[in-house]
Amino acid sequence: MRLISCILLFALALAGADRRNTSTPDTNTPCTFSAPGTLPKWEARKAQLRSQILAAAGLDPMPVKSPLNPIVTGRLERDGYTIEKVALETLPGYWLGGNLYRPKAAGRHPAVLHPHGHWEYGRLENQQLCSTPTLAINLARNGFVVFAYDMVGYNDTAQTPHDFSSPVHQLWSFTPLGLQLWNSVRVADYLESLPDVDPQKLAMTGASGGGTQTFLLTAIDQRIRVSAPVNMISGIMQGGCVCENAPGLRIATNNIEVGAMMAPRPMLAVAATGDWTRNVPRVEYPALKQAWALYGKADLVETVQFEAPHNYNQDSRQAVYDFLRRQLLPDAPPFKERGVRVEQLQDMLVFHGRALPAHARTFPQLFEDWKSAARRQSLALTAAQSRTLLRTTFAVAAQPSGAEIPTRFIDGAGPAVLYVHPEGMAAAAESPAVKKLVADGRAVLLVDAFQTGAAQAPRDRSHKHFLTFNPSDDAARTSDVLAAISILSARKPGAIEIQAEGKARWWALFAAAMAGQPVRFEAKPGEFDASDEQLASVFFVPGLQRAGGASAAVRLIGAR
């Protein structure tokens, strides 16, 4: 072999030191947050994070907002407030259940979105550590409209289970987290539409998993003007349920940074000494405050902590009442929590003794509808939009730069060829195709993509929510091939071609599609046709199908 130059590029001393192997964070990995030094940098970071959250949730592009078609199956008249049993059609044939608590006083009122945590009775929980009816009734008595709504799989919202997350579901970003975040978007739509709600005064509060829903919605939806996540923003635990851990959600980020995206809008972070928010006053809160300080509004983020286990108890509720009143009804007098009449559970359920509407969809049907809508949306994207969505899905920006990837360059004439072998560059060098390229005098770059060749190393993938915090192996390999394109372009300016064999052709296809420059890659007709089940085993990247899959990649390389 005519070897003009041979360069091994290692930013790390050993392939085994690739941080994607050595640093595999999970939900219990301690983390922190430090705001960028300038407001423009923070705004740019927020935009990047918003895209990441939406892609992880399967909401990029946002689903079409179909009519909500509210169903009200009963109204309870009480002293100073009313309770309605309401279901919203957040997707065609999919119903979200909840209770709407309203003041009897005339006029337009602030409104509160209230998702619940993982309490046994969901939005109907009533015990010392958490009572949704007590919170909602006290707010309604004092001038707030409150919509308390279900997590997926709870109470009235039972068309899907709460805990589902197969590889096929993940390919389409069809997850409990995404459905819950979409439901929250639609609840904000609903509250805005009510004649007795001031749409400029929407607030949100929830504890535990409801706290996660709170700071996720405030991160993507500026309509939420005031928030109070309870017992959830933490640097030592990021959420234990699949409904809080969609793949890709926290790659290179964490709940403190996501919570800080509320800035500069007012936020109260409620904490407890007996759970993972025990450090909030001295660790998480000072970190959060940095973001508000960039806007000159550090006084608009507050914290309070109580001696208690994990909760949304009376002390926590009272702190939230005080905060919401000061921010949204500053002229109203302070109020203290009063005892409430708690209704019978069956009297609060929308569909108790009633069937779902005739056109309600089953769980498999909802998944098929989701996939059909995703395909239509992918076809409507511009090339730039499609490329950006793929790069977000593959977490390209969060992975090592080209200088950290092992490569070998063989100088020669153009157009230069990046050759990718599924077993790495040593195997590539022995392939007949590469030997012919070298014999023909072509410039060639070989690469050890992630977990191939000399880049193979142990990687702990055992954590239940591994993919929430880490790219899949195939996403990492594709990112490395994409970086190798940049390396080759810098060494040999001009036209670039990618050749690959075996399963490495998948990495090459998507790297060529995501490249910021024209790259020639020949895809054979039907070569990348694969079922979801096949993809899950041969090329698994969560969100791949939601982002358009191989069809989008083929369109992108064909459009150049």
pLDDT for 174-230, tens place per residue?
A: 999 999 999 999 999 999 999 999 999 999 999 999 999 999 999 999 999 999 999
Is residue 390 pLDDT above 80, yes or no? yes
Q: And the tokens for 238?
A: 């990021």
Query: Which residues are paired to 304 by β-bridges?
Result: 270
Q: And the tokens for 2?
A: 């005519």
Contact 277, 303 (CB under 8 A): no
pLDDT for 398-427, tens place per residue?
A: 998 888 899 999 999 989 999 999 999 999
> Of 513, 529, 531, which Cα lies nearest the Cα of 521?
513
Instruction: Report d(CA 95, CA 357) in Å as an integer.
Output: 9
pLDDT for 345-362, tens place per residue?
A: 999 999 999 999 999 999
Instruction: Report d(CA 560, CA 151) in Å as an integer.
Output: 44
Domain at 373-558, CATH class: alpha beta
Question: Which pLDDT band holds residue 560 (cuts at 50, 70, 90)?
Answer: low
Mean pLDDT score across all residues of the chain = 95
Calculate ∠ Cα 368-359-85, nearest 5°.
110
Please give the sequence-ordered ranges of beta strands (E in DSSP) within 459-503, or none if there are none.
496-500
What architecture is domain 47-349? Answer: 3-Layer(aba) Sandwich (3.40)
Q: Which residue has the tokens 């309509």?
A: 223
pLDDT for 303-322, tens place per residue?
A: 999 999 999 999 999 999 99
pLDDT attached to residue 16: 52
For the chain, give every domain's residue range.
47-349, 373-558
Q: Give the residue-averaged pLDDT of 316-330.
A: 98
The DSSP code sequence of 528-558 is T---HHHHHHHS--TTTTTTTHHHHHHHHHH
Q: DSSP assignment, residue 343?
A: P
Fold match, 47-349 / 373-558:
yes
Q: And the tokens for 388?
A: 């950006």
